[in-house]
Amino acid sequence: MRYAEMKPSGQSPFADYPTKIVAERHNVRVPEFRFNFSGGMGGKAEGLFYFRECLDRNRKVLLQHFKDTHFVCPKTSVVLTSCFDEFIGRNSLAKQVGAGMTDGEVAAKFLSSEFSNAQREIFIQMMKYHVRPIIVRSSGLNEDAERASFAGIYSSVFLPNCHEDFNVRLTQFEAALKLVYASMFTEQARAYRSRVGVVGDGEKMAALVQNVVGRRWVDRKTGGLVYYPEISFAAFSHDDFATGESRGSDGMARLAFGLGPGVVEGEKAVCVNLGMPRTLNELLGNRQAASGAPRNFYFLDLCKDGQMPMGENHFLNKHPIIERADLSLVRRNFSQYEWNDDRISHHCPYSPEVKSLEAAPLMLFHQFIKDNALHFIPAVQALLKSVLEPFFGCNIDFEGAADVVNDLEGRRHLVLYVLQARPQVRVDTGRVEKLPDVDEKNAVVRARRAVGKGRQSFSHFIYIPPEKFNYRSSSSIAEEIGRINSSLSVFGTSRYFLGVPGRLGTSDEALGIQANFSNISNAGGVVEYPIREDLAPDASQGTHFMEAVRSVGMAFISSERGGLNVENLRRLGKRVERGAWKYAEVYAFEKPLRLDIDKQGNAILYHRE
C-alpha cells in the first residue's frame, strides 16, 4: 500500500468519516454550501440545496423517530455558471465545438483549453476545503427540472484527491471540471436537448463539488487502498412497475453494493417495494432474485492518484464483490441461492475458501431491507413521503448511500447519506380508460408494465432478434440502432418503435444493449423482452437512462415471456431491405401500428384493420 502518497498536503490520511459522525452524535449533519463565482447554480445543485433545507427543518422529527440513524449531506461547493461562461469565452469554444465533432474530439478540445489565473485562485481555495475524495458533478440550468430530468445526460467525474502534491490534485480537479463542461456538447446531450425543446443559449453549466461518501478499505486482491460506501441506492415516490401485491404508490428503491454507478448505470441491483417491503425473490421468485442480484461493485481506486482523468469513470474500478470487497461487509450482506431446492438462505456463514456447486453466493442486503432495528427502509420512505414530497409538491426520486457503524458500546448505527433530489418526471398523457379488444393475430406487443405516452402511432419497428445478441455484440448493436435512428428521419406520430433483448442503456454488456440517448433519440416507444425465454428481466426502472427516456414521454415497456409477438410483427410489416444491417430487422407499416396504454400501465401495440 502506498500510504505516504495518499496523504493530502498538510492533512492526515482520510479519517473514517461514518465513525466520526456516530461518535459526534450527529442525527442530521448538513454543512453549509459554499458558492463560488456568480450566476446560476443549476438544477442538480438546487435540488440538493433544498434537500438540505428539508433535512434541517425536520431535524427534531427525524431524531424522534430514528434515534440511531444519522442523516448526512456531504460537504458541497458549487461552481456557478459565470465560471463556465468565462471558460467558454476565453477559449472561443462556442465557435470551435460543433455538432460534427465526436465526443472524444470535444473532450480533447476542452482538456487542452485553460482556465484564467483568477479562476485558478478560487479553485485553490476550494481544494483546500475538500480534503477527502471528491466527485465533480454536472448541474445544468435545465437539469433535474420538472419538465426534463437530464438524468445521466451530462458527466460526473470521481477523483481520489489524495496525491501528496497539491498541484497534482488541483490539475486533476481542473481536468474533471473541463470534462463536465464538455459533456454539455456531446452527441447525446445535443439530442436530448433537441427532444425536450432546450435550444440555442437555453443551457449553461454549473457544477457541484462533493466529498465522496463512504469509507477507505483495502482491496482484498491487490492490497491497494480503495474507497466506497456499503451500499448506494436510488429511491422513487412511485413504483411504475409494481408487481404482485405491491402498490405503485408505496414507492421503490434500487440497491447496489459500493458506489452509485452500480445503481444508475443499468447494472444488476436489488429492487425493493418500500411499502411492504418486498424484494424480487418474494414478488417474482427465488430464481429471478438469484439472476438479478448484483455480482460486481464500483469503487474509487486511491492508487491511481497521480493520473489525469480522461473520462468520467477513469478512477473507478468494477470487480466482483465476493472477490474484492471487505469481508466484514460481504458477510453482513451475504445470502445463498440453493439450486436444487430453489431456496434462498440468509444469515448463512461465508468463507472465501469454500466453493459450492450447489449454492450461488448472492448480495441481497437482507439486513438493510428486513432488519427493523436498522430502520433503513422506514428512513428512506420517511424522506420520500414525509420530507421531500410535501416540500416539492410532486413525486420525487433521490439518490443516496449508507454505511452501518458500531459505536463504542457495540450498538449499530445507520449513516444515511443524501446526494441528490429531483422531481420524478412522468409524461403519461394519452392514457385510455380501457384497452381495445384486439384480435390476437393483430397484436404485436401485449404487456402489463408500461410507462410513457399512450395513443401513439408508429410507421416503423426496429427489432433486434435475441440470437443476434451477446456480450460481444452489445455496443455494436447500439451503434447500428443509432445509424438506423438517423436514417429513418421519422418525426411526430411517425416515430419508430424499438424492440430489444434485455436491458436498454445498461453499462453491463451481458445484460443488454449499451446504448445512450443519442442512439434512440427519434424513438417513440421501446419494449424490452427476455434474452432467455425462461427468465423475464426486471425492468430498467431507476436507471439514469430510463429516467431520461421517461422524461421525454417515450413509451417504455417491460415485457414478460411472449409479450412481443415476433411472428405477427414479421407477418404484418414489410421488411426494409435497404441498409446492410448486421443485427437489426426493420419493418415498415403502410398503416401505422397503434399503441394504447391504460391508466393501470397495461399496454398493447397492434395493427388496425
Interstrand relation of 334-338 and 343-346 (parallel, antiparallel or unpaired): antiparallel
Lowest model confidence (mean pLDDT) among 4-18, 261-275, 409-423: 4-18
Question: How large is the average pLDDT for residues 128-144?
Answer: 95
Question: Does the pLDDT value for residue 526 go beyond 90?
Answer: yes
Q: Which of 229, 274, 544, 262 is nearest to 384 (CA)?
A: 274
C-alpha 76/C-alpha 33 separation (Å) is 5
Amino acid 555: pLDDT: 94
607 pLDDT more than 80: yes
Listing from the earlier edge strand, what are the strands of the sheet with 28-29? 28-29, 69-72, 412-423, 396-406, 231-236, 252-257, 270-273, 278-279
> Residue 212 has what DSSP assignment?
P
Q: Per-residue pLDDT for 493 more than 60?
A: no
Q: What is the mean pLDDT of the chain?
A: 89
Query: Is 417's pLDDT higher than 90?
Result: yes
Highest mean pLDDT among 15-19, 80-84, 222-226, 466-470: 80-84
Identify the three-state secondary structure at position 232. Answer: strand
Specify the pLDDT at position 76: 97
Question: Which pLDDT score, from 0 to 100, does residue 3 have?
Answer: 29
Of the pLDDT bands very low, low, confident and very high (cuts 50, 70, 90), residue 100 is confident
pLDDT higher than 80, residue 492? no
Interatomic CA distance for residues 358 and 268, integer angstroms: 22
Q: 609 versus 67: which is more confidently predicted?
A: 67
Q: What is the predicted pLDDT for the residue at 275?
A: 85
Distance of alpha carbon 594 from alpha carbon 456, whole angstroms:
6
- Residue 21, pLDDT > 60, answer yes
Q: Which range is most confident: 200-204, 268-272, 325-329?
A: 325-329
pLDDT of residue 440 exceeding 50: yes
Position 494 confidence tier, pLDDT thresholds 50, 70, 90: low
Q: What percentage of the chain carries pLDDT values higher than 70? A: 93
Output the CA torsion sign for 210, 216, 217, 221: positive
pLDDT at 575: 93
Quickly state the pLDDT bin for 535 (edges 50, 70, 90).
Answer: low
Cell of 362: 448472492
**Model confidence at 61: pLDDT above 70:** yes
Q: What region does 214 belong to: left with phi over 0, alpha with psi -120 to 50, or beta? A: left
- The rounded percent of the chain whose pLDDT value lies above 90 is 65
Read off the pLDDT of residues 31-44 as tens digits, 9 standing for 90 and up: 889 999 999 999 99
Average confidence (pLDDT) over 51-80: 94
Q: For residue 30, what pLDDT is reported?
A: 92
pLDDT band of residue 495 (cuts 50, 70, 90) is confident
Residue 10: predicted pLDDT: 35
**How far, in Å, CA of 428 to CA of 453, rounded?**
5
In this predicted structure, what is the pLDDT of residue 534?
A: 58
SS3 215: strand
